[in-house]
Each structure stands twice: as C-alpha cells, then as structure tokens.
C-alpha cells in the first residue's frame, strides 16, 4: 500500500530542495573532511617534519601490523564496554524512579540530570583529582580519621578511567532508559499484577523487556562515546591506560604526524562503525518490543 | 438473590486525595453472578471505586470485602480478580497465547492444562486462530476480546471492567456490548462495570449505581433508574428529560394537579410516592418520549393537553427530537415518526399521561 501511495503522488524534486541545507552541511563538514583524512593517511611524514605527497602504504602497514596498536584498541573496547555495563547498573534505577514518579517536579528531575552538561567536561573530569588525588578530599579525610598514615594512590589506573567515563556517560544512559520506561503504559503493570504477578515478576516480565529499546540505544551511545574519548584517560589514567583516541591525539598534536594520525583515526572510525552496524542488526531482533503504541 | 452473601461488599468506603474527597462514604453490595454498573460522568468517583476494589488504590477508610473477607490489606496479585482496561493493556511483546496464559502461569497451572484453558477462552471470545499473533496485528475489537479472555481464563472471583468499550467505534461497541453480556451470563461471573455511557449501562446491567460527585445518587434495576429517577441529576443524566417546577393545587388519592408557572395545570400521579401537602412546591420529571405530539387534541382521558409550536426538529431516522414551545417553556419531545416528522413552526397539541410524570420531592 505504501508503494502505491508513493507512486500516486511522486515526490518530485521538492524533498531534495528541502533537505539541501542539511545535505550541504553533511557533505561539507563531514564527507569532505573525511576524504581529506583518507588522502592524508597515504602520505608520508618526512624526517624533516614536512609531508611527502603520494600514495604510500607505510602508515597503514605500521598501524595494522604493530601489536601495540591492536592491544590499545582492545583495551579501548574493554574500558568502553565496562563503563557501559556500569552505566546500565547505576542508571536503570534512577531512570525507573523518574519515569514512574508522580511528583509534579518531574521536569526538575530531568533538568538535574542535564545540570552536569553546563560545566565543561574537562572541569568535571579534573574535579576527581580534588576528590581522589594524593591531597584530595578522600585522602585528607582518611588521614584525619587515622585510618591511614600515608596518602593512598587512588588515581591514574583503569578503574579511575572507568569512574570518569561513567561520570560522563551516566546521564545519556538514564535519559534513554527514562524515555523508554516513560512510554510504557502503566496499565500493563497493573494488568500483570491483577493476573497474579508480584511486583518483581511484573518488572521482569513486562517493564524490563519493554524498556529494552531504550536500554539498547543508551548502551550503544555510551559505548561509542566512551570508546572515542581521550580526555578522561589523559586526566585520570596512568601511562598504561591510554585509549585509542589518545594515540590519535599523540600523533597529530604532539608529533605533528598527520598522516599516521589520519590512519589511526580511520581505524577507530571503521571499528566503531562496524560495532554500530552489527549491534543495530542484532538488536533489530528485539524490535517487537517497540511495537507498543 | 438477596439472601446470598455478596461477592463484593463496600462498607463505608471513602477515598480522599489531600483535601479532595473522591469517594464519599459508600456502601455497595454486588450479588453473586450479578452485572453491576457504576454509571456517572467523569470525575464522579466510579473509576476510583473500581480501583479500590481492584487493589490499585487504597481506601482512606471503610472496609472492602470480597467473598466475605476483608481485603483492604491484601495486595492486588492475591485478590483473584480479572480486570479489563479501556485501552486493552495487552502485553505488546507477548503473543496472544502468552498474553492469555499469563495469569495461569502465576497460578502454577500445569502446562497441558494451560494450553487447554487458553484454547477454551479463545473459543469463548471467538478468536481461536489468533494464538500465535501479536497484539498489534489485531484490530481494536479483537484486542479487547483477547483482554477479556485473559481476564476470565483465571476464573476470577470478580470481573472488573473499566470502560472497556469506550475505545471502540460505535457499531463495534454495540456488538461487543451484546457479546460481553452473553459471555458474562454464560459464565455466571460476578461483574462490576464502569461506564459513562447510559445506553451501555441500561443494556447490560442487572443493577445500575448512578454516581455523582463521589456519592451514590440512585441504585436499582435499569428500569427503576430510568423510569423512576429519584433525583434531578439521575433524571438529567439518563435519557432526555424535561424538569418542571410547580405547586400542588389539589389532590385526590394519588392523583394530583400541579400548577406549573408559565405552562398551566398539569395532571400527575404520585405512583406510590408519598404525596406532599397541597400548596407544596414540587419538581416534575417528564421524559421526552413520554410527551406525545398530534395535530388534533387526542390522548386518553385524564391526560394533560397543551398547545404548542414546533421550534426545532432534530431528525434521527426512526424518531425525531423536537423542541416545542409551550407557554413560557421549551419542551423536549422525542416521538417515533409516522410517515413524516412535524415541520418547524407547526402548531401541535402536546399531551402526557399522569402516570408518565415522575414526582421529585425536595431532599429530606
């Protein structure tokens, strides 16, 4: 039927005209720069610091053969994955609470969730140094109580990187789950309860499966944002906790090696793109859950 | 039936939200197998009452009894109820079989028996082929039948229906009305039905409880409530009524004469109600279909006859609704159409039998 309708009033050039500003922006700001990066990745950086234009596979050979890069890539995926899991565990309950609360201040609760975004991400990340650093709040408190006599070295490991990422990503997860739960008809839970299910059984059988679309979308968002970050590991991680985006930063900003940085950033782009494609295909099986209206 | 213990009983049940009283202290008995309708406009407390019986809302006072035992503190999942919601509330992620089987699963019914009982319930609602479908593949009417099957398959003590027909379109609603009543009768299941639709209430109920502003206005069989409204609210809410204020001028036994300002003398019958003293003010209820129009003066002896002029005609097919100006009043009249309706501006004779007039005595 949809096909018939489409034939009946053929759209003509009008939709393209309406989309042209957006298309222009996408082409100029995304597609063209990406092509630059692709071209850059085949150039070479000369010993003198200049760039040699041409078609060289040296950068790609280095990136794809060196185990160092592979290990960092896996470490990146692991840290992003763990942060996502922690976000799910910490985020579901507040999301459920906000969605199901009957308070008049629901809008205020959502606003509170957005509040951290008003402060620079870097400042928020740095704040952990004041809390967990050698002379941070926690150490000062523990020294004062006498539980420890020497300040603890809490910062600069993988756990604090994950902590920083969770701090950054949690609002995204909560918002996604919240939207999903908010869209579930409350009569469904009442119906399940009336049919003999306890509160917990109702959650497991009705609310949780119906909130999966939001959970899935939130997880994907958190994973991709987490895997692409370099600020958190730079501020809260140690030398061995670098993530893939740090390598790109290092190559381009520190070493001024644009060709190598381009190749590295394309690797990250392709890997994360593949994750998104595979994930949406796989999560597509669960689309039935979205069928409620 | 009255000597049997009620399946659901409310004893001085009250519901407050802060300073607002949604349900005033209320008593209600629902006899075994009865179809009881809570009827009233939105905000009258009917849904709140249903939710309290269901266990979805806690009463602020009073007792709710199901099968003789107090259930105020019994959580909803232990009350053995079937609820059908206005928006069906089928589980969108489960197929029809799993939807209907849901309640049986939590009653630890063996698998083979679940299959058998679900099949029987689907037969009952005439959708036996739908077990593998998902709710969004069904029409609204079909979804509501499945919701009914899901509620009755567990053999609940009480079936609670929360405006189950409101979301359906008009024709389907009337079909479902007949079918719902048939199934209810067949199973003999005690039912509480909530609606704001008077025709649903009149067609389906054994007992109608008319509610307004959190209070029961009148309670009785559909005929009683329709033909003998006891309050102005009931008279206005059910059917089309004319309300006339007058003074009793004379009475003879149960028949009385009432002087209605701007209309003249109207003959009425107390119909067993206590006859007020002469000179007392009374309010008369005259149903629109109890007023008869004719071109010539006619009607049985003793009927009140008045001359009027047709003001507006609202043609409805087999009947027409007229607004007829009589004296200083505009009366609503619904008459079946014999060959053709009266034209606007026609001079007509309006007559009404004394026993078709209901006397409302001021609240004691």
Q: What ipTM did this prediction achieve?
A: 0.85
Question: If pLDDT is split at 50, 70 and 90, which confidence band does A2 have?
Answer: very low
Residues B198 and B85 placed together within one structural domain of the fold: yes
- Which tens digit of pLDDT belongs to each residue from A225-254? 999 999 999 999 998 999 999 999 999 999
Neighbours of B345 (CB within 10 A): 9
Q: Measured between beta carbons, which residues in chain B are less than 8 angstroms from residue A285?
A: none
The pLDDT assigned to B303 comes to 85
Of B235, B263, B294, the one marking the end of a domain is B235
Rounded to whole angstroms, how far apart are CA atoms A156 and A102?
42
Instruction: Classify B292 in phi/psi space as left (phi over 0), alpha (psi -120 to 50) or beta.
Output: beta
The residue ranges of chain B whose pLDDT is under 70 are 1-3, 299, 362-364
Q: Measured between beta carbons, which residues in chain B are less than 8 angstroms from residue A210?
A: 92-93
The pLDDT assigned to B251 comes to 81
Residues B214 and B257 placed together within one structural domain of the fold: no
Provide the shortest C-alpha distance from residue A25 to chain B (in Å).
39
Mutation target for A interface from B91, B164, B194: give the one with most A CBs within 10 A.
B91
- The H or E element that residue B14 is part of is strand B8-17
Q: What is the CA radius of gyration of chain B?
A: 25
Residue A49 pLDDT more than 60?
yes
> Is residue B155 one of the residues assigned to a domain?
yes
Residues B40 and B181 placed together within one structural domain of the fold: yes
Domains of chain A by range and CATH? 65-291 (1.10.3720.10)
Binary contact (A194, B89; C-beta < 8 A)? no
The pLDDT assigned to B132 comes to 95
CA A287 to chain centre: 22
- The tally of domains found in chain B comes to 2
Provide the shortest C-alpha distance from residue A205 to chain B (in Å).
9
> Is residue B3 one of the residues assigned to a domain?
no
| Both tokens assigned to B319 | 């009947």
Rounded to whole angstroms, how far apart are CA atoms B359 and B255?
11
Of B235, B250, B268, the one marking the end of a domain is B235
Residue A12 pLDDT more than 90?
no
Please state the rounded mean pLDDT for residues A14-39: 94
CB–CB of B185/B33 below 8 Å? Answer: no
Binary contact (A192, B76; C-beta < 8 A)? no
> Is residue B44 one of the residues assigned to a domain?
yes
Rounded to whole angstroms, how far apart are CA atoms B16 and B60?
6
CB–CB of B321/B288 below 8 Å? Answer: yes
Residues B189 and B48 placed together within one structural domain of the fold: yes
Binary contact (A190, B76; C-beta < 8 A)? yes
CB–CB of B249/B261 below 8 Å? Answer: no
Query: What pTM did the predictor assign?
Result: 0.84
- The H or E element that residue B160 is part of is strand B158-162
Rounded to whole angstroms, how far apart are CA atoms B138 and B36?
29
B81 touches chain A (CB under 8 A): yes
Whichever domain contains B317, its CATH number is 2.40.50.100
> Is residue B279 one of the residues assigned to a domain?
yes
Q: How many CB pairs under 8 A join A and B?
A: 75
> Is residue B187 one of the residues assigned to a domain?
yes
- Which residue from A110, A239, A226, A130 is spatially nearest to A176, judged by alpha carbons? A110
| Both tokens assigned to B229 | 């409204």
The pLDDT assigned to A5 comes to 46
Residues B334 and B309 placed together within one structural domain of the fold: yes
Question: Is residue B87 helix, strand or coil?
Answer: coil
Binary contact (A292, B92; C-beta < 8 A)? yes
Residues B248 and B103 placed together within one structural domain of the fold: no
Residues B38 and B136 placed together within one structural domain of the fold: yes
- Which tens digit of pLDDT belongs to each residue from A70-95? 999 999 999 999 999 999 999 999 99
Binary contact (A185, B154; C-beta < 8 A)? no
| Both tokens assigned to A2 | 């949809």
Q: Measured between beta carbons, which residues in chain B are less than 8 angstroms from residue A192?
A: 91, 102
Residues B136 and B279 placed together within one structural domain of the fold: no
- Burial of B285-294, coded b for 16+ CB within 10 Å and e otherwise, reads bbbbbbbbbe
Whichever domain contains B136, its CATH number is 3.40.50.300
Residues B228 and B332 placed together within one structural domain of the fold: no
Binary contact (A185, B102; C-beta < 8 A)? no
CA A73, A77, A78, A83 torsion-angle sign: positive
Binary contact (B77, A195; C-beta < 8 A)? yes
B77 touches chain A (CB under 8 A): yes
Range of the domain at B266: 242-360
Binary contact (B103, A292; C-beta < 8 A)? no
> Is residue B2 one of the residues assigned to a domain?
no
Rounded to whole angstroms, how far apart are CA atoms A198 and A193?
6
> Is residue B96 one of the residues assigned to a domain?
yes
DSSP summary character for residue A203: I
| Both tokens assigned to A290 | 């979205």
Question: If pLDDT is split at 50, 70 and 90, which confidence band does A7 have?
Answer: low
Given A188, A197, A293, which is nearest B77 (Cβ)?
A: A197
Residues B221 and B262 placed together within one structural domain of the fold: no
Q: Measured between beta carbons, which residues in chain A are less than 8 angstroms from residue B98?
A: none
Residues B118 and B249 placed together within one structural domain of the fold: no
Q: What is the rounded average pLDDT for all residues in chain A?
A: 90
Residue, of B124 and A285, whose pLDDT is higher: B124
Residue for token pair 């900003």: A253
């Amino acid at each position: 039927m949809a096909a018939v309708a489409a034939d009946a009033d053929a759209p003509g050039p009008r939709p393209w005209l309406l989309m042209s500003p957006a298309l222009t922006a996408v082409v100029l700001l995304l597609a063209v720069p990406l092509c630059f990066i692709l071209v850059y990745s085949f150039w070479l950086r000369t010993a003198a610091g200049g760039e040699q234009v041409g078609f060289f596979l040296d950068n790609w050979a280095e990136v794809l053969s060196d185990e160092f890069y592979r290990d960092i890539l896996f470490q990146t995926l692991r840290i992003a994955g763990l942060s996502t899991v922690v976000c799910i565990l910490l985020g579901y309950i507040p999301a459920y609470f906000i969605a199901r609360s009957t308070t008049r201040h629901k809008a205020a609760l959502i606003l509170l969730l957005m509040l951290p975004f008003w402060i620079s991400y870097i400042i928020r990340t740095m704040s952990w140094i004041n809390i967990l650093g050698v002379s941070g709040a926690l150490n000062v408190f523990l020294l004062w109580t006498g539980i420890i006599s020497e300040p603890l070295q809490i910062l600069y490991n993988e756990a604090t990187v994950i902590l920083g990422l969770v701090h950054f990503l949690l609002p995204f997860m909560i918002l996604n789950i919240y939207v999903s739960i908010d869209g579930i008809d409350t009569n469904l839970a009442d119906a399940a309860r009336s049919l003999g299910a306890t509160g917990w059984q109702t959650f497991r059988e009705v609310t949780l499966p119906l909130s999966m679309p939001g959970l899935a979308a939130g997880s994907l968002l958190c994973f991709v944002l987490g895997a692409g970050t370099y600020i958190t590991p730079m501020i809260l991680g140690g030398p061995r906790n670098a993530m893939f985006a740090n390598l790109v930063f290092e190559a381009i900003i520190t070493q001024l090696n644009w060709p190598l940085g381009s190749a590295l950033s394309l690797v990250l782009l392709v890997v994360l793109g593949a994750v998104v494609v595979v994930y949406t295909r796989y999560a597509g099986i669960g689309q039935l859950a979205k069928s409620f209206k | 039936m009255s000597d049997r213990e009620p399946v659901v009983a409310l004893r001085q049940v009250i519901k407050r939200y802060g300073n607002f009283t949604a349900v005033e202290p209320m008593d209600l008995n629902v006899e075994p197998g009865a179809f009881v309708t809570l009827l009233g406009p939105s905000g009258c407390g009917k849904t709140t009452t249903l939710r309290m019986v269901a266990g979805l809302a806690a009463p602020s006072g009073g007792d709710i009894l199901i099968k003789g035992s107090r259930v105020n503190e019994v959580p909803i999942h232990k009350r053995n109820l079937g609820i059908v919601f206005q928006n069906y509330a089928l589980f969108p992620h489960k197929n029809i079989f799993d939807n209907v089987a849901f309640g049986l699963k939590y009653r630890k019914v063996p698998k083979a028996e679940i299959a058998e009982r679900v099949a029987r319930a689907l037969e009952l609602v005439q959708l036996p082929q739908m077990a593998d479908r998902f709710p969004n593949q069904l029409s609204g009417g079909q979804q509501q039948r499945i919701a009914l099957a899901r509620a009755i398959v567990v053999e609940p003590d009480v079936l609670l229906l929360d405006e189950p027909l409101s979301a359906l379109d008009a024709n389907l609603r009337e079909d479902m009305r007949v079918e719902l009543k048939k199934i209810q009768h067949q199973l003999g299941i005690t039912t509480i039905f909530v609606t704001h639709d008077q025709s649903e209430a009149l067609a389906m109920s054994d007992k109608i409880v008319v509610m307004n502003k959190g209070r029961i206005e009148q309670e009785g069989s559909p005929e009683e409530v329709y033909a003998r409204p006891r309050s102005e609210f009931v008279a206005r809410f059910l059917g089309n009524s004319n309300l006339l204020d007058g003074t009793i001028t004379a009475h003879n036994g149960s028949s009385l004469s009432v002087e209605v300002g701007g209309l003249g003398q109207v003959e009425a019958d107390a119909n067993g109600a206590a006859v007020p003293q002469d000179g007392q003010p009374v309010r008369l209820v005259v149903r629109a279909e109890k007023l008869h129009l004719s071109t010539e003066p006619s009607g049985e002896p003793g009927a009140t006859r008045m001359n009027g002029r047709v003001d507006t005609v609202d043609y409805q097919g087999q009947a027409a609704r007229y607004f007829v100006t009589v004296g200083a009043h505009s009366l609503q009249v619904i008459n079946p159409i014999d060959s053709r309706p009266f034209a606007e501006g026609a001079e007509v004779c309006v007559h009404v039998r004394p026993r078709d007039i209901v006397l409302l005595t001021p609240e004691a």
